[in-house]
A = this chain, B = another copy of it.
Amino acid sequence: MRVALAQIDVTVGDIAGNAEKAIRAIAAAEAEGAGITLLPELVITGYPPEDLLFKEHFIEENLLALEQVSAVCGHFTLVGFVDRVDDALMNAVALCGNNRVLHIYHKRRLPNYGVFDEQRYFTPGEHAGLTEIGGALVATTICEDIWVPEIASEAAAAGAGLLLNVSASPFHAGNGVEREQMLRARARDNGMWLAYVNLVGGQDELVFDGRSLVVSPTGEVVARGAAFEEDLVIADFTPGAKLGASADLAPVLDGPAETYAALVTGLRDYVRKNGFSDVVIGLSGGIDSALTAVVASDAIGAEHVHGVTMPGRYSSAGSIEDSRRLAENLGIDFRELSIELAFAALLDTLEPSFDGRAADVTEENLQARIRGTLLMALSNKFGWLVLATGNKSELSVGYSTLYGDMVGGFAPLKDVFKTRVWELARWRNAQSPSPVIPEAILSKPPSAELRPGQLDQDTLPPYDVLDGILERYVEQDESIEAIVAAGYAPDVVARVVRMTDGAEYKRRQGPMGVKITPKAFGRDRRMPVTNRFGR
């Protein structure tokens, strides 16, 4: 039996385009002599289609597209689509063959946690997806179905020797390895072959990482698809036998290389799928904007990246020079726009209202907002997408200016803690013959440079402490008491928690970014703004 895993990158809502892509993948698998081809979950609509599912005509178009795709399926092929039974919608996969739909399976476990809202849309299936293919009993499942032990063991008990799973499983750092361990255990525990295909590519805040797998009944990985790239994985094996063969075994990707690839993919696909060609980035001379510019250059090409340094009265000479050197290293467009004229004009305009009050965060935010306004003006005039450069640490505690440095259509580092920003920057530097990010940018103490001598550390605890607390508070939902018990100073923890709760209103108005942790701000963490818990 030759199995093909067609891990393709489709776009939400592009039903005609997705169907075409599916048809090309099926033809490629057919040319390879595949007996069964798997396409990712909801390949017809893209994943997740969200409230597009409430449009009746969206469902209709998806059903017509399934007909078109099934008509080209000479060999057995699994095609994900949205099924409708009476008024209920189902997350479904059609087993196609002989140029028609042979059998339909409805997903039984509908995830409704984390980034998932499937119970908002779908009714769960009630039946196992068992069919005979080439003399062997084969079980079809969809994504979440394989994450519980019951459905696989039920299939094994029924005599299935091969379990197929079509997924759209979003990335977070380290989950490639976790997922592989889970799938290997599932195959081994049930003594069955397992063929798993995963979607690939970015969709808003999610990145799907591919890495489709074929696992033998002894838990050996026989085939592995590429990470973050489209791939057609071919494997040969016989259900019942222990050994199989494949030439496709992409290397395991982990650590900073994995996270960096996710950032590049997420940014590239947001830019491309939303019809942009170029991006513009405010370069502050700091590490966040530097890493953002490098990720952008790797994602869409340096010739499509525009860097802008926007010095003000508190900017250090080093910051401008370091930004210029970074731009030269990358080979990106670079320009300088001073904020001084506009800053002076706004201070003059506001002077009667401010009525002699002392300078405070107001004047700092003014500078950041002029920079945001300048970037948006370039965006409006030239059609460039503005990238926000903020990281997860500052977004957590609100150490950022709404409508200022938070301006942007996309924020590549949104889910990257500051300590990880440094780690990724050093890792990326090590990948080039000479470092792209100047050492001065890596080693300088972080500063917003919005008042004389300002340093992040005047306001925030050291970043290793801050990130340790935030990981527990934001990602693990630990209480202040539990975080203190882990060894952090009570006053520091209390302050970080207070800042984090108080910054929810800012986060709501910030741009999307790539999810790379188990819990990202956005659809993953739904906190009320009006919230007096712990106050």
Contact with B along A500-535 (1 / 0, CB 8 A): 000001001111100000000000011111111111
A55 contact from B337, B344, B402, B477, Cβ within 8 A: B477
Task: Determine the distance from Cα of A525 to Cα of B117 in the docked complex, in whole angstroms.
Answer: 13
Q: Report yes or no: A337 in contact with B353, Cβ–Cβ below 8 A.
A: yes
Distance (Å) between the CB of A19 and the closest chain B CB? 12
30 A-B residue pairs with Cβ-Cβ distance under 8 Å, sorted by A, are A11-B530, A13-B528, A13-B533, A17-B532, A51-B477, A51-B525, A51-B526, A52-B533, A55-B479, A57-B479, A112-B112, A119-B119, A202-B530, A204-B530, A274-B530, A337-B353, A339-B349, A342-B342, A349-B374, A350-B378, A353-B381, A360-B381, A361-B380, A365-B377, A365-B380, A369-B372, A369-B373, A372-B403, A376-B403, A509-B509
Task: Determine the distance from Cα of A132 to Cα of B313 in the docked complex, in whole angstroms.
Answer: 75
Chain copies in the assembled complex: 2
Which of chain B's residues has its CB closest to A366's CB? B377
Q: Report yes or no: B533 in contact with A14, Cβ–Cβ below 8 A.
A: yes
Q: Report yes or no: B203 in contact with A528, Cβ–Cβ below 8 A.
A: yes
Q: Report yes or no: B345 in contact with A403, Cβ–Cβ below 8 A.
A: no
A334-355 contacts to B, CB under 8 A, are: 335, 337-339, 341-342, 344-346, 348-350, 353-354
Q: Which residues on A are within 8 Å of B, measured CB to CB?
A: 11-15, 17, 48-52, 54-58, 112-113, 117, 119-120, 202-204, 269-270, 273-274, 335, 337-339, 341-342, 344-346, 348-350, 353-354, 357, 360-362, 365-366, 369-370, 372-374, 376-378, 380-381, 402-403, 407, 409, 477, 479, 481-482, 505, 508-512, 525-535
Distance (Å) between the CB of A65 and the closest chain B CB? 12
* Cβ–Cβ < 8 Å partners of A57 in chain B: 479, 481-482
Task: Determine the distance from Cα of A52 to Cα of B482 in the docked complex, in whole angstroms.
Answer: 16
Task: Determine the distance from Cα of A509 to Cα of B509 in the docked complex, in whole angstroms.
Answer: 4
Distance (Å) between the CB of A276 and the closest chain B CB? 11
Known interface pairs A52-B528, A341-B346, A342-B342; 8 further A-B residue pairs with C-beta atoms within 8 A, sorted by A's residue number: A12-B528, A50-B527, A52-B527, A204-B529, A274-B529, A337-B350, A349-B374, A509-B511
